[in-house]
Amino acid sequence: MSWWTRPASDTQVTHGDRFWLYVVASVIMLLLVLPTFIVIPMSFSDSQYLEFPPSNWSTRWYEVYLGSTKWMRATATSVQVGIITMLVATPLGTMAAYALFVSGHRAAKALFMFLITPMIVPVILIAIGTFYAYGRMGLNNTITGLVLAHTAMAIPLVMIVITAALRSYDLNQERVARSLGATRLKAFFLITLPQIKFSVVTTALLSFLTSFDEVIIAIFVSGGVNATLTKHMFAALRDFIDPTIAAISTIMVLVSTILLLMTQFIGVKEK
């Protein structure tokens, strides 16, 4: 029996019957990753301009990036804001998700929806609103301002992932722990947290990525010495297109991919 006529699953559908599905799926996946893959060879070009495919290869644009104080400072800002956002959004979002999940109050659902609105509202609106609000509060171009805005963006993600984790968790375990002598806080840390810890780590990584990749809010509220990497890249694209952008993009793709793979790996482990 050839591959073409072999059943593809427990049903009698053969790989042949499904061939169209494989084609469609491949095209879609290609469309999704192609733009990313084009950037990678472009970053290794020797040319002054963005060029595909490159005629000569070199790593000069990585050297430019690594040698530039401006790029390095922006990278430091991005990493710093990403880490602080992660450290703030993960516990806050976890606490909110836990509280709303456990409370059973009739307002819990509404509050949940309210807290995940940053995910639904167009980011440009949040960016403009934040910009004007920060203008009055003096938070524009500050690390604090960026962290607050990015935390608001990351909390919905944290809440959704943690709520999903709590759904597959038997809350009676916490009750038992309390009846056995643990305070509520102890019961959470000794019993609940160890069982959702992989989800918590996943949300931490996602929070970092949310901040690290974020560009729209950063364009509005970050600047000067506290401009993020994404803001500089956007400005660079507008003002002088050179392959440094491609080099940085490649590095960012690498970081994001590693972090996402880590979350996938962790997710499998928790099952």
Partner 1 sequence: MASDNDNGSLDNSTALPIHISSLTKKYGDLYALDSVDLEIKSGEFLTLLGPSGSGKTTLLMAIAGFNRPDSGSIRFGDQEVILTPPHQRNVGMVFQSYALFPHMTVAGNVAFPLKLRGIGAQECEQRVAEALETVQLSGLGERGIDQLSGGQRQRVALARAFVFGPRILLMDEPLSALDKKLRERMQIELKILHRKLGVTTVYVTHDQREALTMSDRIAVINHGRLAQVDTPEVIYNHPANAFVADFIGESTMLPLDQDQAGNLHYKGSTIARKPPGDDADGWSLVVRPEHLSIMADPKTDNDKTIVFRGKVVETVFQGETAFSIIAIDDQTELQIRFGTGSKAKSGYPQSGADVSVGLGRDDVIVIPGDQRQ
Could you say whether residue 182 binds partner 1 (CB under 8 A)?
yes
Given the rule CB under 8 A, which of 52-60, 72-80, 115-123, 171-179 is the region that contacts partner 1?
171-179
Q: Which of 143, 178, 236, 266 binds partner 1 (CB under 8 A)?
A: 178
In the bound complex, what is the minimum distance in angstroms from residue 167's beta carbon to partner 1? 15
Could you say whether residue 147 binds partner 1 (CB under 8 A)?
no
Of 169 and 234, which has the nearer Cβ to partner 1? 169
Of 53 and 104, which has the nearer Cβ to partner 1? 104
For residue 96, how far is the Cα from the chain centroid?
19
Can you read off the two tokens belonging to residue 31?
């469309």
CA dihedral 158, 93, 186, 180 (to 10 degrees): -70
Peptide bond into 118 cis (omega under 30): no
Q: 3-class DSSP state for residue 142? A: coil
Range 148-167, binding partner 1 (CB under 8 A): none
Tell me which amino acid residue 202 is.
T
Find the length of the chain: 271
Given the rule CB under 8 A, which of 18-26, 39-47, 152-160, 183-191 is the region that contacts partner 1?
183-191
Unique residue bearing structure tokens 């309390």: 178
The stretches of the chain forming alpha helices (DSSP H) are: 19-43, 60-67, 69-103, 108-115, 117-120, 123-137, 143-167, 172-179, 184-187, 193-213, 216-221, 229-239, 244-270
Could you say whether residue 195 binds partner 1 (CB under 8 A)?
yes
In the bound complex, what is the minimum distance in angstroms from residue 268's beta carbon to partner 1? 17
Could you say whether residue 181 binds partner 1 (CB under 8 A)?
yes
In the bound complex, what is the minimum distance in angstroms from residue 23's beta carbon to partner 1? 42
Could you say whether residue 119 binds partner 1 (CB under 8 A)?
no
Q: Give the count of beta carbons closer than 10 Å to the beta carbon of residue 147.
A: 23
Chain residues in the site for partner 1 (CB under 8 A): 170, 172-173, 175-184, 186-187, 190-191, 194-195
